[in-house]
Amino acid sequence: MGLKGKISKVKRNNQKRNKLVKQGIIKKDFTKHVKNTNKKLISSSVNSKNNQNMYEEESDDGDLLEMVESEDIDFLKEAITNQSYEILNKVKYTGLNMKPKKRKLEDDDDLENRYEDEIEETTGKRVKNLLPIKTKHGLVLQQIIEDISGEEDNEDRKTATSPDQAQMSNEKNGDLGEYFLNENKLDLSKPVLPAQLLAARIETLRQKKIYIGSLSSGLLENPEEKIANFTRLLKIMAEDTTEAYFTIKKLVIVSLTEVFKDILPAYEIKNLNPQGVKLKKETLKLQKYEESLLAYYRKFLQKIEKYCFFLVKKKGDTRKLSEEDIKLAETSIHSMCELLVSHPYFNYAQNIAKLLVPFLNNSRKNVREMVKVAIKTIFKEDKKEAITLKILRLTNNYLKNHTHVNADMLEILLELNLKDVNLDQEKEQDIREKKMKAKKMKILQMSKKERKRKKKLQELEKEMLETKAEENRQERQQNLTEITKVLFNIYFRILKNSENSKSLSTCLEGLAKFAHIINLEYYIDMVKVLGNLLNEEWMGNREKLHCIQTIFKILSGQGEAVNIDPLSFYAILYKELLVINAGRNHENCEVILNTLVNALIKRRKKITSKRTISFVKRLMTLSLQLLHNGSLSCLCLVKTLMQLNKSLDILLDLDSTVGEGKFHACSEDPEYANASNTALFETTLLCKHYHPIVRKFSKNIASGVPTTGDGSLPVEFGKMTTDQLYTNFSMSEMAFNPSVPVLKNVQCRTKINRKHFVDTAFQDDCKFILKTNEHKDPFWISI
């Protein structure tokens, strides 16, 4: 019974196969393939048994076995067990697990390859068979004959440019992958020629430029999909390639700077992760992109910051910087400046400003110029005044800790636009609101309903202000008031510690520019401080002029109500006029002209005629020693003064017998110079000036400043102010205004050289000497 219950392996396999077919796991075609394989296995097993019986019958002959060696017997046994009798038909044995069909194909390929190699060695050419063409006359065989030498050269070229081709193919496919340099490594154990080093450097730079450019262009085309290019660019920045270490870093810094300038948004990215709020796929994608962009931007700034600090030396630092380190630091600072100017309200803008402000006091001039230009552009283009306020606070904190500061740190403050600022505006508004509330409470006694209604109306008014962007204006006005407070805090601190004349000069220039914003409470104290500075011996001419300019600007504006006698300031200004000339300090002429406008024209009702006459006479003397633009400004000022004050016509009278005494040209006090006893003789010299417009102005003044008729000025020049004349006719651009006319081609007439002698005897002696020495020594005659 036990024997009857057994099932053969074939039947069991069939049952399993049918189940799998019903379940759909195996297809029916596969079953046919399995049946064929089973048949082959059965036939092979039968053949193996028959062969084994034959072998056993033949093995009875003991003499035959004795003739065979033991190693051959082992080989035959292994072949029988593996059921590969076909191996015995071959001479070579290549392994135990063999596949006869594939082996035959391999042998055929080997034969073809050997045949082709023999042809190549003999002829030097390669023959390739192509598919035949079927025609009416039969099959036409095709072959290609190729030169091996040309192909080898092409292969060498391909291998030489394989990295570049790989890069270009990857760029087309949109996937750049890892970058591999063409490794032409030099054997440093042997002596290397400089030409080899230069060639290796040029090749490395060429490949890196291509790679950096492709990555950067991919980011500019589609930053959201190609944002992974930032990692590769930052990786190149961290590489230590010996051939072009600094050049590659500078290339990456410049390219990343341009990419960030174009990619970064104008708004600030905030980390908003609302919990329990479902977002759309597009918003999630945008949020992830912005987070990754911000992370890469932070990494880039951190790396650049390290290079910027190469130029910052601390106490005890004795290291000597190489030129490459300095240039790398300068490019990093320039990159920071570009990013701050292009995106002043993006993330980390305040951090960049904090880094750049101390470089305004750097020892290198080009570094100071880069930072100064960047901050000035920010001051001009800033509409919210938020980043401007941040920079001013940073400079204020730096000046608190550093007494000796370069003047460039204070020159940036002159670019501030503070025309419409009123520091007392907040106080005035508070006082007005309190008064209005008090009046309303007296007049109206509102009920609860009316109060609620009033609150709702106030809320609606706020919403309306938001739609009109009124809050932005209020914020800007608040920022401007804070800027003015910080600005004057800086200036007053410098005035107290006035040891550095350079910083004091720029401070006084700033005070003169923004004097109209100062509160009335500080006017008296300011005038006293500036008056004490004028008595210092170490003060230079320009510093004194800025002090006087600030004082007169204060007194000519809201400071008219202040009871101060500026007689001493007029005397100092009168004295300093003759110090200016064209060759030494002509740039101070603009400061003097602005000061005289405030001192003589705006305060003309509060000064005496003697003082005005003395200043006009000295201005005419000053116009003789200035360039033509300075002379034009002085003459324009004299013309306006003569139009406003008729008592100045006495200077056109040449009769000096009538008057109060003798004119003292070197007197330091304008009240006692007796300028009314002299005349404007300078007009005779200025009428022969090289500049045509100066001649017209001097002729106009000498004629008594007529508006029409003989001696009058053209309308275009008569309406121009002193500042316009100074700038329009300046020679800063090396251009003469008006342009000099081209001379016509005039043929010069030959002149007859006639020599006349008073003494005829002396004439005869000269002729005799010339005749006797004419042929002896011609050089003597030339002497």
Per the model's pLDDT, the better-predicted residue between 746 and 255 turns out to be: 255
Q: Which residues contact 416 (CB under 8 A, 6 or more apart)?
A: 379, 388, 483, 487, 514
Q: Which of 487-496, 577-586, 684-693 has the highest mean pLDDT?
A: 684-693
Per cent of the chain over pLDDT 90 is 18
State residue 127 phi and psi, 5-degree precision. -110, 125
Task: Output the six-digit token pair for 620.
Answer: 């005419």
Q: Is 131 helix (H, G, I), strand (E, B) or coil?
A: strand
| Range 487-495 contact pairs with CB under 8 angstroms and sequence separation of 24 or more | 487/392, 487/413, 487/416, 487/418, 487/514, 488/514, 488/517, 488/518, 488/522, 489/396, 490/392, 490/395, 490/396, 490/399, 490/410, 490/413, 493/399, 493/400, 494/399, 494/410, 495/529, 495/533
Whole-angstrom distance, CA of residue 747 vs CA of residue 615: 50
The answer on pLDDT for 98 being more than 50 is no
pLDDT classification of 330: cutoffs 50, 70, 90: very high
Whole-angstrom distance, CA of residue 542 vs CA of residue 501: 10
> Across 626-780, where does the E strand assignment appear?
none
- Contact between 382 and 392 under an 8 Å Cβ cutoff? The reply is no
pTM: 0.62
> Across 632-731, where does the E strand assignment appear?
none
Per cent of the chain over pLDDT 70 is 68
The answer on pLDDT for 207 being more than 70 is yes
The answer on pLDDT for 638 being more than 90 is yes
Per the model's pLDDT, the better-predicted residue between 689 and 435 turns out to be: 689
* DSSP-assigned states of every residue in 327-353: HHHHHHHHHHHHHHHH-TTSTTHHHHH
- The answer to which of 357-361, 446-450, 630-634, 760-764 has the lowest mean pLDDT is 446-450
Task: Output the six-digit token pair for 490.
Answer: 């800086």
pLDDT (0 to 100) of residue 28: 58
- Contact between 545 and 592 under an 8 Å Cβ cutoff? The reply is yes
Task: Output the six-digit token pair for 562.
Answer: 């202040």
State whether the Cα torsion 725-728-731-735 is positive or negative. negative
Instruction: Give the pLDDT mean for 335-343.
Output: 93
**In terms of residues, how long is the chain?**
783
pLDDT (0 to 100) of residue 632: 93
The answer on pLDDT for 173 being more than 50 is no
Residue 593 C-alpha from the chain's centroid: 37
pLDDT classification of 390: cutoffs 50, 70, 90: very high
Instruction: Give the pLDDT mean for 299-320.
Output: 84
pLDDT classification of 61: cutoffs 50, 70, 90: very low
Instruction: Give the pLDDT mean for 351-379.
Output: 91
Residue 48's CB is within 10 A of a number of other CB atoms, namely: 14
- Residue among 680, 556, 552 nearest 614 (CA): 680
- Contact between 559 and 602 under an 8 Å Cβ cutoff? The reply is no
Whole-angstrom distance, CA of residue 718 vs CA of residue 721: 8
595-637 pLDDT tens trace: 999 899 988 888 888 999 999 999 999 999 999 999 999 999 9
Task: Output the six-digit token pair for 6.
Answer: 């057994």
Q: Which residues contact 616 (CB under 8 A, 6 or more apart)?
A: 638, 641, 642, 648, 651, 675, 680
Per the model's pLDDT, the better-predicted residue between 63 and 7 turns out to be: 7
Per the model's pLDDT, the better-predicted residue between 259 and 61 turns out to be: 259
pLDDT classification of 87: cutoffs 50, 70, 90: very low
pLDDT (0 to 100) of residue 315: 72
Per the model's pLDDT, the better-predicted residue between 490 and 94 turns out to be: 490
Q: Is 139 helix (H, G, I), strand (E, B) or coil?
A: strand
